[in-house]
Chains A and B, each alone.
Chain A
Amino acid sequence: MTTRTTKRAAETAKTRTPSGAARTLIIPKKTGPISAKRIREAVEQVFAKKTATRS
């Protein structure tokens, strides 16, 4: 069975990420007293643990 996709549906699909989040994410240049590197590392460590727990 073939699936037909209208032009409009195809355009809509192109603008969506798998999670449906807006494609653009703004990373602020202006940061607070905690260094951006420290925050990034802390978040990455939490995600690494989450991924390890799942697998």
Chain B
Amino acid sequence: VESAARALTQQSVFLNCPFDRAYRPIFFASIFAVHYCGFLARSALEIRDATQPRLHTICDLIVTCRFGLHDLSRTGLEPTNALPRFNMPFELGLFLGCQRFGGPRQRTKSALVFDREPYRYQQFLSDISGQDIVAHHDDPRQALIQIRNWLQAAARRPDIAGGSAIWEQFQEFQRDLPRITAHLHLRLEELTFLDYRYLISVWQQQRDPSRTLTRL
């Protein structure tokens, strides 16, 4: 049981990012890249247990993910109330705290921090200077390529295809997606995170049947 839990942690990537509609192209590209690279995308969206405080379940998720993708690109004033949303910087802090103060396994954690523009974070979160912070310029292709590069280097996996090849396959997946959702009698926005993640895995399995399957 412990080795299964350990394998799950080693292969899990915590996606700490916005869930708004405008961000969806980057979110979907991120899930696709994570699975293409042989990892499991995890998100607070998979938590359905209303009996636990949300913070506890997010902490449990962070502890069980060796990798963390943190997108600070939406850190700014909301047009409706002129207040910033702090969930993502807060969860980045939890992840880095876990890495810093946790046991030996937690110290192997690796984080990639995204923002819209280079060095913008220095105006609101200068304490994270020195982390791996990259700009995706609100471009899903840039985000996908950066995720691929990060996972390849952090997990030392020489067998991952180049970012452009993964992007081309993501484009093919997006062309197939309306036909798949039509078979399911659903609209794209009605797919939950767990459905979408499973769908991507099955699609990648069909696309390349020679891959070794691991159920986690």
Contacts and interface: CB of A to CB of B under 8 A. Distances in A.
B36 A28 contact: no
A12 interface: yes
B189 interface: no
B213 interface: yes
Interface stretch (B20-28, B122-130, B194-202): B194-202
Interface residues on A, range: 20 to 34
A5 interface: no
B214 A25 contact: yes
Contacts of A17: 159, 208, 210-211
Contacts of A43: 176, 180, 199, 202-203, 206
Given A17-B208, A26-B35, A46 B183 contact: yes
B205 A42 contact: no
B154 interface: no
Contacts of B206: 43-44, 47
A28 B180 contact: no
A33 B195 contact: yes
B201 to A, nearest CB: 5
B165 A39 contact: no
A1 interface: no
A52 interface: no
Contacts of B184: 34, 38-39, 42
A27 B179 CA distance: 21
B160 A21 contact: yes
B46 interface: yes
B112 to A, nearest CB: 17
A49 B176 CA distance: 11
B198 A26 contact: no
B44 interface: no
B162 interface: yes
B157 A22 contact: yes
B207 to A, nearest CB: 8
B198 A31 contact: yes
User: Closest 10 CB pairs between A and B?
Assistant: A32-B194, A20-B161, A22-B38, A42-B183, A32-B195, A25-B211, A24-B38, A32-B192, A15-B159, A26-B40
Interface of A: 12, 15-34, 36, 38-47, 49-50
Interface of B: 11, 35-40, 46, 157-162, 165, 169, 176, 179-181, 183-184, 186, 191-199, 201-208, 210-216
